[in-house]
Amino acid sequence: MKIFISSDALEWFHGEMEATNGDTIRFYARYGGSSPVHDAFSLGVTKDTPFEPSATVQIEHIMFFVEERDEWYFDGHDLYVEIDSKLNELAYVYKKA
């Protein structure tokens, strides 16, 4: 799997999560909500330290990652992180790898 972060989403991380050089941001499966790839689970995001990352991308000295234990959630899809311009919040798009 691969992770793609749009420039608008990167700005959101700078503003909303105060992400700076050297930060590591994890995407993880959480119980509750729903997504196009799983019912009863949704995607969470937090600053965290990588333990066993299975997918990473480094943009402007910020590392975004998914842990090996959460890879099941993506079910063979790549993750595209964008911004919902109407809500000004993160939007996740899953595309079959």
- pLDDT recorded at residue 75: 85
pTM attached to this predicted model:
0.93
- pLDDT recorded at residue 38: 74
Measure CA 84 to chain center.
14
- pLDDT recorded at residue 32: 82
Q: Please give the Cα distance from 97 to 94 (Å, whole number).
A: 9
Mean pLDDT of residues grouped by 10 in the chain (97 residues)? Answer: 97 96 96 78 94 96 97 93 92 92
| Residues near 55 by beta carbon (within 8 Å), at least 6 away in sequence | 1, 2, 3, 65, 66, 71, 79
Instruction: Please identify which residue in the block is written with the tokens 């842990």.
Output: 67
- pLDDT recorded at residue 61: 95
- pLDDT recorded at residue 36: 78
Helix (H, G, I), strand (E, B) or coil at 26: strand
Q: Please give the Cα distance from 64 to 46 (Å, whole number).
A: 10
- pLDDT recorded at residue 33: 77
Q: CB–CB of 5/19 below 8 Å? A: no
Q: Please give the Cα distance from 39 to 47 (Å, whole number).
A: 25
The Cα diameter of the chain in Å comes to 35
